[in-house]
Amino acid sequence: METNQAKKHEEQIARANQATEEGSSRIKEERFRLRYHLMPRTGWMNDPNGLVYFKGSYHAFYQYYPYKPSWGPMHWGHAKSEDLVNWTHLPVALAPSEPYDQGSSGGYGCFSGSAVVNGDSLALLYTGHVSGNSPVEVQCLAVSTDDGITFAKSEANPVIPGPPEEGLFGFRDPKVWKHEDTWYMVIGSGQEGRGNVRLYASSDLHEWRYVSIAADSDGSQGDMWECPDLFPLGGGENHVLIVSPMNMGATKTMYVSGTFDYEAGKLTTTLAERLDYGFDFYAPQTLEDDQGRRILFGWMNIWGATMPEQQDGWMGAMTIPRELILQPDGSVRMLPVPELETLRGERYEVESQVIEAGTELALRGITSDAVEIIALFDADAATEFGLKLRCSADGSEYTEVGYRAADRTLYVNRDLAGLGDGGISEVQLTPQDGGLLKLHLFLDRSSLELFANDGEKTMTNRIYPQPDSLGASLFSRGGNAILRSFVSYELNAIQ
């Protein structure tokens, strides 16, 4: 017999699905709709949730509000893919419906969390957040009643009814994984101005035992760590923790690499670094696939930004999928997955040449708003060199990607990029062997993702140029720049 709980949830899901259909049929303006990124059909999207490889498919869930293109009571949107590139949208997976995840006002909903494959079934772990409740945040379980499309909330919810102690600043975003025969869960939290991560363990996903503070801020790394993700990378006891610290200045996402001791429940840190140096990269999450790859998607936006696409009835997107690779020094590289090569269309090549100081070389083969570019330069030849992208015909609008040799700084300048926020993203970057700088770029209608020196540093930014600003050029200032090679591909749309 169907319980009341199941019925209420089904009703909320049905409403949300209907809103998705109606909302998406109303979207007419395409100017910022991305061609090959996962984004909602309508309404609002934030964090990726429940990334998982299950029965031959990649599943991506996400924080979703189907009724308006602004944040509201959180649902979980859902899409699935066979190849990480082409996505099929699925019915809404979770909707607020219970006292632990539905309030009457203020912030509430099914907040961020994760998915795990439990035998033959898919299980979701998420935070029930209700502003007026005490505690405000509890951890909940929902289990698939079919092949990972429909989810029933557990009668045992909340499976973690509150934080392990009083006085915590936040207790949310459970990320679960299995090690040997035990399930482990990290939860984001903060205490006395320091972000930290709480570790729990379970044998059945229902009963959870508090273990430890798995990792803690050094005092300068934000006061609450949202969306923690702790996973093995690079073999042995090597692990990486990714967090999105609140109130850490320009650093929006950070990773800590080191070794994880499951007995003690502690991560010993070798290195802590910013994960991406752009403005629009937050709350990333990873999955491990059947090839053993660790694949990450981030939310390709940031809280507080101007979001011009809201006017068009939608908001939010995920980054392209990126594979994480641990380097011997403990740093992590992010590389676009090779599956993205299937999007490649027309190819355009520019011969190795000198770009004279003070000149620009037009890239006439670039005519689209969806392009992949791979360019190799001598890093030390000119004072400043790089590319101008999404240029208007009159030259007043463009986004500049450049490198300043004197202080070895890579930057993306979007001050003249169009609508939306301006600003310059910067990161220090030493040349590769042979004194080379390699820029690998993914341009989509309203985004620019830059992978420098084979993923050593990345920068993710949203840009909102006019649709007909499609020009591109190479430039050099203060000396001649040397282009070693250049190839670009027009990228096909996924839907």
Catalytically active residues are 47
459, two tokens:
């920068």
- Residue 222 or residue 418: which is nearer to ligand FRU going by CB? 222
**Minimal CA–CA distance to 234: which of 321, 327, 333, 296?**
327
* 46 interacts with ligand FRU by CB under 6 A: yes
* 112 interacts with ligand FRU by CB under 6 A: yes
Q: Which amino acid is at 355?
A: I
The 10 Å Cβ neighbour count of residue 307 is: 22
**CA pair distance 26, 18, nearest whole angstrom:** 13
* 144 interacts with ligand FRU by CB under 6 A: no
**CA pair distance 470, 478, nearest whole angstrom:** 26
* 399 interacts with ligand FRU by CB under 6 A: no
* DSSP one-letter code for 431: P
Among 13, 16, 38, 74, binds ligand FRU (CB under 6 A): 74
- Least separation in angstroms between residue 46's CB and ligand FRU is 5
Pairing of strands 43-54, 314-315: parallel
Site size toward ligand FRU, by CB under 6 A: 13
* 65 interacts with ligand FRU by CB under 6 A: no
Among 12, 20, 127, 221, binds ligand FRU (CB under 6 A): 127
* 216 interacts with ligand FRU by CB under 6 A: no
368, two tokens:
């689209």
- Residue 47 or residue 101: which is nearer to ligand FRU going by CB? 47
Pairing of strands 384-391, 399-404: antiparallel
Query: E-assigned strands of 180-309?
Result: 182-191, 194-202, 209-216, 224-232, 238-246, 254-261, 266-274, 282-288, 294-299
* 227 interacts with ligand FRU by CB under 6 A: yes
Say if residues 161 and 206 touch (Cβ distance below 8 Å): no
- Least separation in angstroms between residue 244's CB and ligand FRU is 6
At 29 the three-state DSSP class reads coil
- Residue 42 or residue 112: which is nearer to ligand FRU going by CB? 112
* 280 interacts with ligand FRU by CB under 6 A: no
**CA pair distance 253, 47, nearest whole angstrom:** 13
- Residue 285 or residue 453: which is nearer to ligand FRU going by CB? 285
* 226 interacts with ligand FRU by CB under 6 A: yes
* 251 interacts with ligand FRU by CB under 6 A: no
**CA pair distance 269, 349, nearest whole angstrom:** 43
Binding mask 170-189 for ligand FRU (x = CB under 6 A): --xx----------------
- Residue 130 or residue 227: which is nearer to ligand FRU going by CB? 227
Among 130, 211, 283, 315, binds ligand FRU (CB under 6 A): 283
CA atoms within 13 A on the CB side of 224: 12
Among 12, 42, 63, 257, binds ligand FRU (CB under 6 A): 63
Binding-site ranges for ligand FRU (CB under 6 A)? 46-47, 63, 74, 111-112, 127, 172-173, 226-227, 282-283
